[in-house]
Amino acid sequence: MVKVRMNQLVGDQTGPLMSPLQLSVYWRLALIFFFTAFLFFLDIFTTAVVAETCRHGNDTGTFASWLEKLAPNKEENQSALSKVLKDDADWRTESGIRDSVCGWTDWLSYGQMLFMTGLLLGSLFGGAISDRYGKRPVLLISMCVHAVCGLVPAVFPQPLLFLILRCLTGICCCCINICAFSLAVEWTPPDSRLWPPAFLPFCFSLGTMGGAPLAWLNPTWTRLHLSLALPQIICLPLYLSIPESPRWLLLKKRTDILDRYRSNSPADNQRLDLLLDSAWSDLQKATEAQREDPVTGDHASSDIIHLKHPTVLMRLFVMSCVSAASALTYYGICLNIGSFGVGVYSAQFFSGLSEAPCLLVPLVRLGRRPMSMLALFLSGAACFVSLLLSRYNGTPMLVMSLALLGKLCVLAAIFISTLYSIELFPTVVRQRCLSLVNLSFRLGCLVNTLVPANPDGAISLAAMVIYSSGPIICCGLCLLLPETSGVPLPDSVVDCNRQLQPHQPAMDALWRTETLVSSQTSKVETFPVEKDSTISALLI
C-alpha cells in the first residue's frame, strides 16, 4: 500500500498542478470572497455617504435664511425657497420622501455592532450545520441570503430593517467563510494546505480594494447598495457548479456523487483518489485516537478532564489572548480607517492593498512560534509609532501607512495562529479548544464596536494604546508555547508534553518549498476531520 501510494505521489508530480474540478473550486471561491468584502465594510461607506448627503440637506436651512435676507418680497422668497428645496430633494431624501435616511442617522452607529454580533452567532452554529448538511448547500444558501441583504436596504431604507439585515449579513458572512475555507482545504492536497488560508484572504483584500471605487462612484444611499449587491446576484448561478467536499461525501458514504466527480476527466479521477486517500487516513487516525481515549462516562465529562490539564489550560489562555488582541488591532484599524486624516475611499483602497503581501506568508519557513512572535511584535511596534506620529502632528499619509503596516502584520499573525492552534491542542479536545479560541476572537471583534470615538472623529488615545500594546504582550506570551513545525499533531495530553522541547527549523530551510513526498511523512499540514470546519474561524 505504501509503495503504491509513493508511486502515485511521484507520478502526480509530473501531471498538472490542479485538475479541472479543483480549478473550478478555487476560482469560484475566489469570486465569492471578492464579493463578500463589499458588504463586510458596508457600514464605513454608508456612514460616509450619509454624512455627505445629510450635510447637503442641513445646508438648505442656512441657504434658506440667506434667501430671506436677499428677497424682501415674501412671495418671491417662497418661490425661490421652493425651487431650492426641490433641487436639493435628492440630497435630503433621494426620492422626495420626507422620511429619509437622514432622519435616522443615529441608528447607523449600531450597524457595525450588530454585524459583529452576527459574525459571533454564525461562528457558534455555522460549522455544526455545515458538518451535518454539507458545505455546498450551506454555502449556496448563505450566498443568496447575503446578496439579498445587500439589495433590500436600497428599496426599503428603514432603520430597524437595516439593523436586522446587518446582523443577518454577519451570520451569512461567517457561514460563507467557514464553508468556503473548508471546501478549499479539503480540495487541496496535504502538502499545499497552507495556501488556501492565504489565497482566499488575498481575494478578500482585492474585494476591499474593488468596493472602494464602487462606493465612490455611487455616492447616494440607493445607488451604493445597488452597486454592491447587484454583482453578487448576477454571479449567483456560477456557484451552482461548486462541488461538495470529498471528505464530507466519504463520511456520508455518498459514493454516487464521488463517482460522478471521477468521471469528469482522468486528472479529476487521479486527484480525487489522492484526496480520498488522505481523508481516509485522517479518519482512521481520529478513530484510533478516540479508541485509545479511556472514556468511562459521557464525552463531555472526559473533555472537561482533559481541559483541566495545566498544559492545555496554559495553551488555551495564550492562544485566547493572541486571538483577542489580534481581533482588537485588526478590526480596530479596519473600522477606523477614515480617522487617519485621509479620505475614506482612498484609505479603504489602501487598506485592502496592505493585505496583499499575506499571500507570501506560506513561503516563509520560520516555524510557527518565531513567525507568530515576529508578526505580533511588528504589528504592535508599527501601531505604537503611528500613535506617536499622530500625537505630534505627523503626516496623515505616513500615520496611515504605519497603521496599515501594523494591520498587515497582525493579519499574518492571525493566519499563523490559526494553524498554530490546530497543532497545539490534542485531538480529544481540539474542537472545543478551537471553539473557545474562536469565541475570544469574536468577542474582541465585538468590543471594537463598543469603543466610543472622539468628537473629532479620530481614534482615541486609549484605543490606540490597546491596539499597540496587546500584540506586544502576546508576543511575550508566545514564549510559553512550544514549536510545532515538523512535530506530529498531538492525539493526547501526553503527546502535548512531548512537544515541550522546542523544535527549531534549520536556517537553510528558510524560503524552501517542501516536496510532496516529504510532506506525507509528517502530519504538519494534515488537517483531521474535526478541525476542517474551523480552519477559517479566525480569519474573518
- CA distances, 329 to each of 118, 219, 393, 456, 473 (Å): 20, 29, 22, 21, 13
Residue 448 CA to chain centroid, in angstroms? 15
Predicted local distance difference test score (pLDDT) of residue 229: 92
How far, in Å, CA of 158 to CA of 111, rounded?
Answer: 12
What is the average per-residue pLDDT within 237-242? 89
pLDDT in tens, 412-425: 888 888 878 878 88
Identity (one letter) of the amino acid at 49?
A: V
Predicted local distance difference test score (pLDDT) of residue 522: 39
What is the average per-residue pLDDT within 443-457? 74
How far, in Å, CA of 319 to CA of 321, rounded?
Answer: 5
Long-range contacts of 101-107 (CB under 8 A, 24+ apart): 101/50, 101/53, 101/54, 101/157, 101/221, 102/50, 102/53, 102/54, 102/57, 104/159, 105/50, 105/54, 107/159, 107/162, 107/163
Q: Is 520's pLDDT higher than 60?
A: no
How many other CB atoms are there within 10 angstroms of residue 515's CB atom? Answer: 11
pLDDT in tens, 369-382: 888 999 999 999 99
Indicate the pLDDT class of residue 538, thresholds 50, 70 and 90: very low
394: left (phi over 0), alpha (psi -120 to 50) or beta: beta
Q: Is 8's pLDDT higher than 50?
A: no
Predicted local distance difference test score (pLDDT) of residue 459: 73
How far, in Å, CA of 141 to CA of 239, rounded?
Answer: 11
How many other CB atoms are there within 10 angstroms of residue 41's CB atom? Answer: 23
415 Cβ contact partners less than 8 Å away, ≥ 6 residues apart = 197, 198, 201, 358, 361, 539
Higher pLDDT, 50 or 516: 50
- Taking a C-beta distance cutoff of 8 angstroms, is the pair 370, 505 a contact? no
pLDDT in tens, 258-299: 778 777 777 767 777 777 776 666 666 656 655 555 444 444
Identity (one letter) of the amino acid at 421?
A: S
Long-range contacts of 108-112 (CB under 8 A, 24+ apart): 108/43, 108/46, 108/47, 108/50, 108/162, 110/163, 111/42, 111/43, 111/46, 111/162, 111/163, 111/166, 112/43, 112/166, 112/335, 112/449
How far, in Å, CA of 168 to CA of 191, rounded?
Answer: 36
Predicted local distance difference test score (pLDDT) of residue 282: 61
- CA distances, 497 to each of 250, 251, 315, 458, 484 (Å): 33, 31, 12, 47, 12
What is the average per-residue pLDDT within 30-38? 92
Instruction: Name the one residue in this structure whose C-alpha cell is 516536496.
Output: 515
- Taking a C-beta distance cutoff of 8 angstroms, is the pair 249, 259 a contact? no
Predicted local distance difference test score (pLDDT) of residue 457: 60
pLDDT in tens, 327-345: 989 888 888 877 776 778 8
DSSP-assigned states of every residue in 121-149: HHHHHHHHHHHHH-HHHHHHHHHHHHHHH
Predicted local distance difference test score (pLDDT) of residue 55: 62
- Give the rounded percent of residues in the chain with a pLDDT score beyond 90: 18
Residue 348 CA to chain centroid, in angstroms? 16
pLDDT in tens, 68-123: 444 445 454 445 445 444 444 443 344 444 346 787 888 888 888 899 899 889 88
The secondary structure of residue 83, as a DSSP letter, is H
Predicted local distance difference test score (pLDDT) of residue 344: 84
